[in-house]
Structure 1
Amino acid sequence: MLNFLKRKKSKTVELKAPITGKVVELSEVPDEVFSQKLAGDGVAIKPENNVVHAPVDGEITQIFPTKHAVGITSKQGVEILIHIGIDTVNMQGEGFTAFVEKGDKVKAGDKLIEFDTAKIEEKAKSTITPVIVTNGDVLESMEKSLGDVTEKEDAVLTLKLK
């Protein structure tokens, strides 16, 4: 009887661009884990700058010790992984500065990580940055926005929840 008092969860989640750059399909990522969607579906961004921002409001659920990747869970329960570059784990954190810790609450647009593009180009395979949903079972559909995007402004993924 009091169901109208219960807040309805949004059935759509929009992920804003965490980095300015060019959005491409995961198939263009030079790493099988991402290109074959073994870790989840999403997109990748060829970055034009060196700051990663939160794509949604949520909670930091993982920040890798090497600071090359961050996991965020949206308020709606969507789990998002942003992985800066390919083979960057081998850099052991060199060139990465994190501004968040596990458990931090973030708003879309908050600064998460800065990275040294030149160091990545020198020491890793690629700067391309996958943005993936790791719990795709909660999704009904995923709409990808390919092409040039501006951080904090343009959507890269529009997710419809089950």
Structure 2
Amino acid sequence: MFSRLFHSLVPHGKGSVLRAPLAGTVIPLSEVSDPTFSSGSLGEGVAIEPSGCRVVAPADGKVTAIFPTGHAVALHTDDGLDVLIHVGLDTYKLGGRHFTVHAQVGDTVKQGDLLIEFDREAIREEGYDITVPILICNAAEFSSIKGRVGDTVLELDKLITARER
């Protein structure tokens, strides 16, 4: 009886840690003003109200997509997380203005490698919400996804823990 109880309390599966790809204040995904992100339809995660102007690789992995306008990047981490980092809401409408991309699709990246630089103030001045959703798009493969909501993080601070099933 006790062995079954003990077994039910011990976490199963390996945990993966995703580091913060940028500095700022972590908010729940549900508070993002775009329902595409807040509904969780693209995946689970958190969002960051950025205090910096760059996005770095949150883990070792491979760049699987960079949007032509430079506002978003997708990675497949060595731990098996499919990550989408989307700088701002509706920022694709800027046509690439205020974004500088430093990676290409197919690049192998190390945690901390610079992926995108952006001009946070210029984007805000053009009337765009600068909130950065960070999604685990394959969240269904994990038993839990937990983020540091409410915390202020620096680049590469622990941000999200994903536990495998």
Compute the TM-score of the two structures, normalised by the length of structure 2: 0.89
Deviations 1:111-162 (CA, angstroms, capped at 9, x unpaired): 110001122102243000000011112111112112100112x111011122
Give the Cα separation in 2 of the matches to 1:24 and 1:156. Answer: 11
From the CA coordinates, give the structure whose radius of gyration is larger: 2
2:94 equivalent to 1:91: yes
- Of the three residues 39, 53, 60, the one matched with 2:56 is 53
1:33 is paired with a residue whose SS is helix
Pick aligned residue for 2:147 from 144, 148, 151: 144
List gaps (5 residues or longer) in structure 1. 1-9
Following superposition of structure 1 onto structure 2, how do residues 108-119 of structure 1 map, counting pairs within 5 Å? 108-119=111-122
Give the match for residue 36 of structure 1. 39
Structure 1 counterpart of 2:128: 125
2:81 matches 1:81:
no
Pair 1:12-2:15 in alignment: yes
Does structure 1 conserve the Cα–Cα contact (< 8 Å) formed by 2:139 and 2:145? Answer: no
**What is residue 3 of structure 1 aligned with on the other side?**
none
Alignment: residue pair count: 152
| TM-score normalised to structure 1 length | 0.90
CA distance in 1, matches of 2:93, 2:145: 31
**CA–CA separation in structure 1 for the residues paired with 2:16 and 2:127:** 32
Same amino acid, percent of matched pairs: 41
Divergent runs of 4+, >6 A: none
For the aligned residue pairs, the C-alpha RMSD in angstroms reads 1.2
Is the aligned partner of 1:134 residue 2:127?
no
Question: Any gaps of 5 or more consecutive residues in structure 2?
Answer: 1-12
Could you tell me which residue of structure 1 aligns to residue 6 of structure 2? none
Work out the CA distance in 1 between the residues paired with 2:99 and 2:87.
9
